[in-house]
Amino acid sequence: MARVKNSVVVVTGASSGIGRATALAFADAGGTVVITARSEHALEEVAQQCRERGADVLVLPADVTDAAAVEQIARETAGRFGRIDTWVNNAGVTLFGRIEEAPVRSWHRVIETNVFGTYHGLRAVIPWMREQGSGVIVNVSSVVGKLPTPLVSSYTASKYAVRALSDCARQELLDVPGIAVCTVLPGPIDTPLFDHGANYSGWRPKPLKPVIAAERVAATIVSCAAKPQDEAFVGASSGMVLGFRRAAPGFAARAAAAQVPKDHFTAEPVGGSDGNLFQPADSTGSISGGWTRSSKKTSLDDPKTASESGSERSRLRRGMAVAALVSAAGAGLGGAIRARANR
């Protein structure tokens, strides 16, 4: 972590979830942390936790949909600390609901926050990093940035876009070998996102299993700052699901279409809500959304302990193997049926 110690790090969306865990992780690693989110109250709490870890902290409340405000964060950070070593574009919101049922303005808002927010961060920090000749930009996408997922179309589209933005930025910055752009693609994470997100699905959402602790994503982000890589997956499930999608894209899409409505929601009916899309959540924020049994046991020293449990991973692997077999059989059966029907 030599590259992280004493470095200056900006984290957007630092009031809760992955952003909050990331701020604390950088503080633990000896970094100077600049935290931003809409809720100053929640940020102050995070700042206090960072200070308790011995870190220098600057709190700059801002809405990432405001390009000028994000530029100001970069300017103030560089002005105060002289440089920006790592910039984490993490701020994100979500919206549950069908494309035709969710309000237009809510759908737009997810794109504005997740995509425009990332774009504003890139646009703000690149000039400073070019000036330094160095820096690491970490954009938090998601495994759904590679995997179409129903009922969260705006979120999925935004995460595809974040990945594309990362790729474009990386290409544009090839002339500066000292600047790296990383995309982090977590699987389902235990964060308050599921409670804070807008919801027009009619049911209370929950993360798909296996759920990973946010600290594990934070550890991956810190690791990218120290040793950049183009794309970093978090969670064993991500790689397996993507492999599955590559091997049998048609079946994977149908399987996701069937699985997500069933496994991504509880049986608890809820009314339509814009959640934290337009206003920050009332609470002071937290890292976990309470979706894992053992999130308290997680440790940055051993990121692997952050997933729900080892047995959960084993169950997933078994499930995926069965799914793969079923898909192969299903594909064969389907083909046979279609062949008969075409006779």
Partner 1 sequence: MSQPSFMAGFDSASGMANALAHYLRGEPFETIGNPPVLRGPAQSIRRFSRKTREKAFIAAGAAETISPRRVHRLDLGAVGDWLADEYPDTTYPAVAIGSSNGALNHLYAAMGIPWLPQTILVPVRQKVHPDDPKEALRRGERYGRRLVEAHPGIQLHHMHDPNQDRLMVRALTYFRIKRRVLGQDYEQLLRDRLPPGGTIIVADCRRTWTTTQVAERFVFQHGAPGGATESEYHHGSARVAEYLRRYDSPVRRWEGPELDGQSPEAEWGFEPSLLDDIQRFADEHGHRVVRLSFDDPEDASPLVADLHRWWYRRRRIPSNRLIVSSFAVTEPYWTARTGSVPFWMKFNTEPSLASLDEYLRAVDPYDEIYLMLFQHGVEAVGVPGKEQWEAVLGHARRTGNTLGVDLDEFPLDFSHFARYDQAIPQQIPSRYPLPAPLQLSELEEFLAGHKDDYPVEYHH
Q: Give contact residues for partner 1 (rule: CB under 8 A).
A: 127, 130-134, 172, 175-176, 178
Give the shortest CB-64-to-partner 1 separation in angstroms.
Answer: 18
Give the shortest CB-114-to-partner 1 separation in angstroms.
Answer: 24
> Which CB contacts under 8 angstroms, 24+ apart, belong to 68-75?
70/12, 70/117, 70/120, 70/121, 70/123, 70/124, 71/120, 71/123, 71/124, 73/10, 73/34, 73/36, 73/124, 74/10, 74/124, 74/125, 74/127, 74/128
- Report the residue number, 43 or 165, with the smaller CB distance to partner 1: 165
**Interatomic CA distance for residues 38 and 27, integer angstroms:** 20
CB-side neighbour CA atoms (13 Å) of 89: 38
- Report the residue number, 83 or 108, with the smaller CB distance to partner 1: 83
Contact 85, 67 (CB under 8 A): no
Pairing assessment for the beta strands 86-89 and 135-140 based on DSSP bridges: parallel
For the question of residue 160 being annotated catalytic, the response is: no
Locate 70 and state its tokens.
Answer: 């994000």
Give the shortest CB-274-to-partner 1 separation in angstroms.
Answer: 34
- Report the residue number, 178 or 269, with the smaller CB distance to partner 1: 178
Give the shortest CB-131-to-partner 1 separation in angstroms.
Answer: 5
Give the shortest CB-177-to-partner 1 separation in angstroms.
Answer: 8
User: What is the distance in angstroms between the CA of the first residue and the CA of the last residue of the chain?
Assistant: 65
Between vectors from CA 90 to CA 88 and to CA 91, what angle results, nearest 5°?
130
Q: In degrees to the nearest 10, what's the CA dihedral of 327, 333, 334, 335?
A: 110
Contact 77, 56 (CB under 8 A): no
Active-site annotation, residues? 155
